[in-house]
Structure 1
Amino acid sequence: MSFFKKLKESISSKTEAVTNKFKEGLAKTRNAFVEKVEDLILRRKKIDEEFYEELEEILIGADVGVNTVMELIDDLRAEVRKQKIEDAAELKPILSEKLVKLLKGDENNSLRVSDNGLTVYLFVGVNGVGKTTTIGKLAHRFKQQGKKVLLAAGDTFRAGAIEQLEVWGQRVGVDVIKQQAGSDPAAVMFDAVQAAKTRGVDILLCDTAGRLQNKVNLMEELNKIYRVINREVPDAPHEVLLVLDATTGQNALSQAKLFGDKTGLTGLVLTKLDGTAKGGIVVAIRQEMNIPVKLVGLGEKMDDLEPFDSEQFVHALFAGLITEETVEEETQA
């Protein structure tokens, strides 16, 4: 079975609502990226050195990442030589296929869930990336699934952080475990785990202070929080999720690298993907970090947080490249 037939069948098996969310959320990136690629193919038609240089610029402009782009261009050159391709239009399906492979990797993109009752997720990241909002949206998602959810207000330093989480708790209808501003975050986590155990909670979502990566004491504090949780629930936290703002592009990749070195990340959450034309950063992070993207924020509504799916992502992003005609041609080949 060809790549495109598999992709088509995989997409058709998923709900139309999710597909549309991805398409709408990636509209800015798609318009900026796909239109430029289409224009390049129409203008040049012939695959020569200038064609590769322009394609390279387009990919870097979408924040796919310089290292990833260089590898991708080298792969395309090899494929052109191997298949003796002369018409630039024939590169469209090959480009799409290679991007799916870059995003897929070996890891499971789904969130880990405990086999023994309580599941604990720890959220980290700098201020302003949408950590608290992500926690609120995820709490809503779990509650819709019938789970009993509890929130832990571990950001005791930023003014208004506890109140912000409480507002989300009220909106979703879940309790928040907190202490006074300035309290020891590890003590808050201890209280939250005890409360979760006592109340028979399924999911505990833990907020933390938006720490700057170069603040050694804050990183040590994060490790202390991790140890406290792990001591009380031996296999927890089940996920350490770094929340990144997709609109910051390459800066998000820099943050991922710095946090990844120090905090034992298990997954990434990309917020505000709908607000950027640089959605290619998903490819760069996945390729350079080898850490799976677990969730993506595709809008401001409470249910606009979606599990990341590489095929959905590529189908939505490259809708202008993977046309029905291309799929049919490849399927019949």
Structure 2
Amino acid sequence: MASFFSRLKSGLSRSRDALSQLVPGGSVDALSEEEWLDIEDGLIMADCGGELAGELVHKARKRRGGSVQALKESMISMLPEVKAVNMPESGPFVLLVVGVNGTGKTTTIGKIATMFRQQGRSVLVGAADTFRAAAVEQLAVWVERAGAEMVRQHEGADPAAVAFDTIQRGVARNYDVVIIDTAGRVQTDRGLMDELAKVRRVITKAYPEAPHEVWQVVDGGTGQNAVMQVDKFREVAGTSGLVVTKLDGSGKGGIVLQLSHRFGLPIRYVGVGESLEDLMAFDGEAFVTSLLPEQPE
């Protein structure tokens, strides 16, 4: 199996190749004003965003050593500390998963369920994306493959009712992990977002400590739209962590840095492909090293 670093490096090839043409080697002192401007432009094109790109360049210019190393240190220093997942001392760990359609949310839930099962934990998944029969069927395949259980109702059923039933069963039968899927929401649709807020309220009423975590799945290739999505979902659902998918050559890796910096949210996982092993726990230093071009000796 390829290493975490090598799979990340392959997935981030698009951004790294673009940066390679703009980020020169050599010492920081040797770089001209024009070269620093090129570096800043390269970071913006890698989806770091203008504000963060400027801040990274400013910090890198004040550091000693090679330019790539200085950028690397600046990037790593601005990533928020990744705290341990908020696992309860007793009762099930309840995870609410949110995100818009097309981000890979359903597949990601299946992979997370599989990971928990591989740890020996019992897992119950609530299929509250009741508006898309295909999503429920896809999730059912993953749940069965993982050896987990699933709560589902008829197409068009009330998502909050599915969430409530799932929590009740999870608590009554002493499951270790309860994962609630939600319908893909367009963050600009007030009605749909209100319904998501309702799902969260019902979960808390069913189990006052829950949800322990709210993870949003974000497509790494959607650029600034991902920023708007996280901003809105955090307001409505109380997002506590991010899963950034599709960093498989099509996505630009800088969006990971921008989201982390702007919202102070931990990146829990990144996805660089379709298979189970392609959803990987986030390692900030390895990610930054994979994003930047190799520094000449």
Q: TM-score, normalised by structure 1?
A: 0.82
Distance 1:290 1:197, change over 3 A: same
Please identify the structure whose Cα radius of gyration is greater: 1
Q: How does 1:274-293 map to 2 (within 5 A)?
A: 274-293=248-267
| Identical amino acids, percent of aligned pairs | 42
Does residue 161 of structure 1 match 2:161?
no
Structure 1, residues 256-278: CA drift from partner, whole Å, max 9, x if none?
Answer: 12222222110111011123251
What is aligned with 1:236? 210
**50, 57, 63: which one aligns with 2:41:** 57
Structure 1, residues 35-89: CA drift from partner, whole Å, max 9, x if none?
Answer: 2245x448x994222112211111111111111011122223444xxx6xxxxx8
Q: Tell me which amino acid in the other structure corresponds to 1:28.
A: R
Distance 1:277 1:232 in 2: 38
Does residue 90 of structure 1 match 2:58?
no
Structure 1, residues 147-175: CA drift from partner, whole Å, max 9, x if none?
Answer: 10111100111242211211211222222
What is aligned with 2:53? 69
**140, 154, 167: which one aligns with 1:193:** 167
- Name the SS of the counterpart of 1:248 in structure 2: coil
Q: How does 1:1-333 map to 2 (within 5 A)?
A: 17-33=3-19, 35-38=20-23, 40-41=24-25, 46-79=30-63, 90-103=66-79, 105-108=80-83, 110-318=84-292, 320-321=294-295
Q: CA RMSD in A?
A: 2.2
Distance 1:160 1:308, change over 3 A: same
For the Cα contact (< 8 Å) 1:37–1:55, is it kept in 2?
yes
For the Cα contact (< 8 Å) 1:241–1:268, is it kept in 2?
yes
How far off its partner does 1:201 sit?
Answer: 0.9
For the Cα contact (< 8 Å) 1:141–1:303, is it kept in 2?
no
- Name the SS of the counterpart of 1:257 in structure 2: helix
Q: Which has the higher helix share?
A: 1
- Name the SS of the counterpart of 2:270 in structure 1: strand
Distance 1:266 1:72 in 2: 25
Structure 1, residues 72-130: CA drift from partner, whole Å, max 9, x if none?
Answer: 22223444xxx6xxxxx822211110011112x2451x432111120010011111101
For the Cα contact (< 8 Å) 2:193–2:236, is it kept in 1?
yes
For the Cα contact (< 8 Å) 1:130–1:271, is it kept in 2?
yes
How far off its partner does 1:314 sit?
Answer: 1.7
Tell me the matched-pair count. Answer: 296
Distance 1:32 1:149 in 2: 42
Q: Tell me which amino acid in the other structure corresponds to 1:285.
A: L
Q: Tell me which amino acid in the other structure corresponds to 2:205.
A: R
State which drifts further: 179-188 or 154-163: 154-163
In structure 1, the gaps of 5 or more residues are 1-14, 84-88, 326-333
Distance 1:319 1:76, change over 3 A: closer
In structure 2, the gaps of 5 or more residues are none
Q: Tell me which amino acid in the other structure corresponds to 2:176.
A: D
Q: Which segments of structure 1 move beyond 6 Å, counting only runs of 4 or more? A: none
Q: TM-score, normalised by structure 2?
A: 0.92
